[in-house]
Amino acid sequence: MYLLVKGAVALSVGGKSLDTVKAGEIFGELATITNSKRSATATAKTACRVISLDGGQFEKAIQKSPEFVLILMSVMIDRLRLRLARLTMMKALPDKPGDERRVFDDAMLDEIAGALGNPRPLRFTAGQTIINAGESGVFMYLPREGYVAIMVDGKTLERIGPGGVFGETALMDHRAARTANAVAETNCALMTVNRKQFLDLVQENPAIGLSLLKVLGQRLQAAMGQSAK
């Protein structure tokens, strides 16, 4: 991945402009985080200078400063919001939900719960709204039982089940607006994690932060792929 120190870089997919990276911002993080091929083309718009960071350096940076995870989450979520806004405007949101993405296995969920003192999960009944788009919040949610539908403009973009994650925007800024609605598809039990708890977890086990960044990267890649159609 690259940190742009000076200049401007254009991001595009299939010849279509996606975004412009400015000094102080990061690009190329998806391939590093998801260990996949590049999903966009980066072209210097002006003379520029960058600092590169490989996978090993990235993991060390996370362990030394867990807040780095939140910085990358902020970059990726801002880009995801932009993609979703454009897809909504173009009425090009997918008709079917994307593949369910498991972030944590059962052992990791048990480890997280133990580190948090095994809190009692929040329970919701089928059809109950958990998150409203536009509202603020303080928690990220990890389902332990049941399924949750993530919806934008009346369409289900993703189904989140045990091992999945949603509501992660709140970890960066509790005043930030939620980007989608979350509705219980079935009766479900959810574990909650706030910002401080998350940073403590990542410092103790960087794999937790890497797993969350990976699923965010997959969501962004899916949205970018939809934009290129």
DSSP 121-154: PEEE-TT-EEE-TT---S-EEEEEES-EEEEETT
For residues 37-62, average pLDDT? 86
pLDDT: is 218 or 117 the higher one? 117
The answer to whether residue 180 is domain-embedded is no
Q: What is the pLDDT of residue 226?
A: 58
For residues 30-38, average pLDDT? 78
Tens of pLDDT, residue by residue over 95-139, are 666 666 788 989 999 999 999 999 999 999 999 999 999 898 899
- Rounded to the nearest 10°, the torsion over CA 35, 40, 45, 47 is 20
The answer to whether residue 61 is domain-embedded is yes
The answer to whether residue 35 is domain-embedded is yes
Q: What is the pLDDT of residue 110?
A: 93
Full domain range(s) for residue 11: 2-89
Rg, C-alpha atoms of the chain: 18
pTM value > 0.85: no
Contact indicator for 215, 30 with CB cutoff of 8 Å? no
CA distance 192 to 21: 33
The answer to whether residue 22 is domain-embedded is yes
The answer to whether residue 118 is domain-embedded is no
**Residue 42: which CATH number?**
2.60.120.10
The answer to whether residue 18 is domain-embedded is yes
Q: What is the pLDDT of residue 93?
A: 64
For residues 173-179, average pLDDT? 78
pLDDT higher than 90, residue 179: no
The answer to whether residue 137 is domain-embedded is no
Average pLDDT, the chain: 85
Q: What is the pLDDT of residue 187?
A: 98
Lowest mean pLDDT among 21-25, 70-74, 141-145, 191-195: 70-74
Position 227 confidence tier, pLDDT thresholds 50, 70, 90: low
User: What's the total number of domains in the chain?
Assistant: 1
Q: What are phi and psi of 33, to 5 degrees?
A: -75, -45
Contact indicator for 222, 201 with CB cutoff of 8 Å? no
Lowest mean pLDDT among 44-48, 122-126, 199-203: 199-203
The answer to whether residue 80 is domain-embedded is yes
